[in-house]
Amino acid sequence: MDWQISEDTVPSSFVTDAQVRSLLGKPPASGAWREGDPIFERRFAPIGRFRFDRGDELPAVRVAYETWGELSPERDNAVLVLHALTGDGHVVGPAGPGQPTAGWWSGIVGPGKAIDTDRWFVVAPNMLGGCQGTTGPASLAPDGREWGPRFPYVTIRDQVRAQIAFSDAIGIDRWAAVIGGSMGGMHALEWGILAPDRVERLAVLAAPPRSSADQIALNSVQAQAVRIDPQFRGGEYYDAPDGEGPHLGLALARRMALLNYRSPSELNDRFERSWQSGISPLGGEGRFAVESYLDFHGNRFTRRFDANSYLRLVDSMNSHDVGRDRGGVARALAGITARTLVLGIDSDRLFPVPDQEVLARYIPSTLDGDEPAVITSAFGHDGFLIEDDAVGHHLGRLLAT
């Protein structure tokens, strides 16, 4: 199938010409960062042998991360920022060699911003099972082949235990704040429960206390879209003779996910029923502009992510339940001692505000008592990445305490 994209594929009012040109040519079999690629701004911290919740072990794990600001002599100004499902440790800065995307929170983190790097030492790791430098399915196993489908099932708790080991490796005994949105918010919750003595403040943005059946169902169809791609090859696609990877399945999964990340009103207002002529990258003449928008983002995703990693991280989200083996959600949340910001988005249809209401009800020390802070946004779940002023205001309240 031809993946060449002409500049009339995506309306110029929705993406730039440079973005369109960036998709010219066939995607790689995997969009993961690989050994030998430019390191760019990454640093690496080995955390040694790692045992997973299900009993599997890896002989050696390393965490890729980036930092901004300076650590104080007292080591009391460190802030841990945790990314969402398809993010990475590149929170601030431009794209570059070995880093296909610009920073995902540049409106929040930086000098004079809500997380002020003139005051705070900000650390952002790529999560365990990810594909931008931290050990994951695209990493090389001791036999010299990618772990691929052999990579163990990873839970949210596994990922946080890896982050705790990473904190030890870089010498941070206590975080002034742990901040995460979406899947990163799941991690933040687990930090507050697993290591309450190591967290002074906590920010949980647009995240639930556990993944619901509805949310698991949304994830399951995305995973199936990847697996049924003939080029997936059971996860053994890294050295395919034709160089092909599961581009179609991964792009389709991304398009499905994007519908959950944005609100119906945002898509309706932005695109209405506008029609776009021309030939799409998936074939067929003439289509609605919103279809080209979804195709563009799906196709771009295949150039920066790994299909096996996507499956493992979706499974991780499905595993999320702070009450598992802890006597239930209420009891687990009651163990959080950090001063906590719980933030929801009024148009979020992935993790809606009732999820944050549960968190605020049972976490003892929240900024707003028994209710979450709720921001108004047309952007749905992605509002925590887009609404810099509103999100920054509430993070500023937390960091001022």
Known catalytic residue: 393?
Answer: no
Catalytic hit among 83, 297, 381, 394: 381
Q: Is residue 182 among the annotated active site residues?
A: yes
Q: Name the burial class of residue 163, with classes exposed (0-12), middle (13-18) and buried (19+) by CB atoms within 10 angstroms of its CB.
A: buried
147 neighbors 170 (Cβ within 8 angstroms): no
Q: Which of these is catalytic: 182, 292, 309, 319?
A: 182
Residues 64 and 126: their CA atoms lie apart, in Å, by: 6
Known catalytic membership, residue 381:
yes
Contacts of 116 (CB under 8 A, 6+ apart): 110, 399
Q: Minimal CA–CA distance to 195: which of 85, 80, 109?
A: 80
How far apart CA 53 and CA 315 sit, in angstroms, is 13
* Dist CA 357 CA 187 (whole Å): 18
Report how far residue 323's alpha carbon sits from residue 194's, in angstroms, rounded to the nearest whole number.
Answer: 12
CB 316 within 8 A of CB 183: yes
Which position among 88, 158, 321, 348 bears the catalytic label?
348
Which region holds residue 182: left if phi is over 0, alpha if psi is between -120 and 50, else beta?
left
Per-position DSSP letters for 160-204, written without gaps between them: HHHHHHHHHHTT-SSBSEEEEETHHHHHHHHHHHH-GGGBSEEEE
Which active-site residues does the annotation give?
A: 182, 348, 381
